[in-house]
Copies of this chain bind each other. A is one copy, B any other.
C-alpha cells in the first residue's frame, strides 16, 4: 500500500490543521500502547487519558472505535499480509505454511490488541478489513499449495487458522508476562497435528458464516459489551 492509494474513509485523507494532526498522532500512539497492554476492550476514555486529550477531542478525531482500530492496526495488518506473501514465495510450501503460522502467532503474542484484531472483524474499519481480505486470499492459496505437497492434512480448512489464532490468544492472554513463551509450545503442538499422516478424522469445522458472526463480537463475553446481555 503506497501513500497515494490511501483509503477515502481514512480520517487522514485530507490534511488536518497542525494541532488537529498532532492530536490525531498522539491519540494513535496512545491507543497503540493501551491496546497492546490491555487488549481491544480498553475503553476510548482510557485511550484519551493516556493521550492527554479530552474525550470530545478523541471523538472528533475518531467517532468510533472501529476508526481508531483501523488507524492503529493498519501497519500490523499490512505486516501480517506481507507474511503471507513471504510464505507464498517459499519454494517449499509446507515450510512456508509452518513459518507463516509461527510468524502470525508471534505477532499476536507481541501485542494483546493485535491478538484480538486477528479474531475480531470490524466491518467499519475499511482499510484494515481490505488488508485482512488480501491476507485471507493469500492464505487460501498457501493452504492449497501446502496440501499439494502431501504434508498438510487434506481436511485442513482456512477456518482452522482462525481457530489457531483464537486458541493462541487464549494462551497469550492467560500467561501474559509470567510465562511469555508458553504459546510457542501450544502452536508447535497444533502445527504437528496438521502434518500428515493424520491420526484420524476431526469434528467438522464451524460454518464460515458462523465463524464470521463470532468474529463480529465486541470482545470476550461480558467484559466488552456495555449493553452486554451475554
Which positions in A face B, CB cutoff 8 Å?
37-39, 41-43, 45-46, 49, 112, 119, 160, 163-164, 166-171, 173-179, 181-182, 184-186, 188-190, 192-195, 198-200, 202-207, 210-211, 213-217, 219-226, 228-230
Contact = CB atoms under 8 A, between A and B. Distances in A.
A38 B202 contact: no
A175 B211 contact: yes
A174, A175, A186 — most chain B CB neighbours (10 Å): A174
A164, A171, A184, A211 — most chain B CB neighbours (10 Å): A171
A39 B182 CA distance: 23
15 contacts: A39-B221, A41-B220, A41-B223, A42-B222, A43-B229, A167-B167, A167-B170, A176-B214, A176-B217, A182-B206, A182-B211, A185-B202, A185-B205, A189-B190, A195-B199
A contacts with B: majority SS: helix
Nearest to A202: B188
Contacts of A223: 38-39, 41, 219-220, 223-224
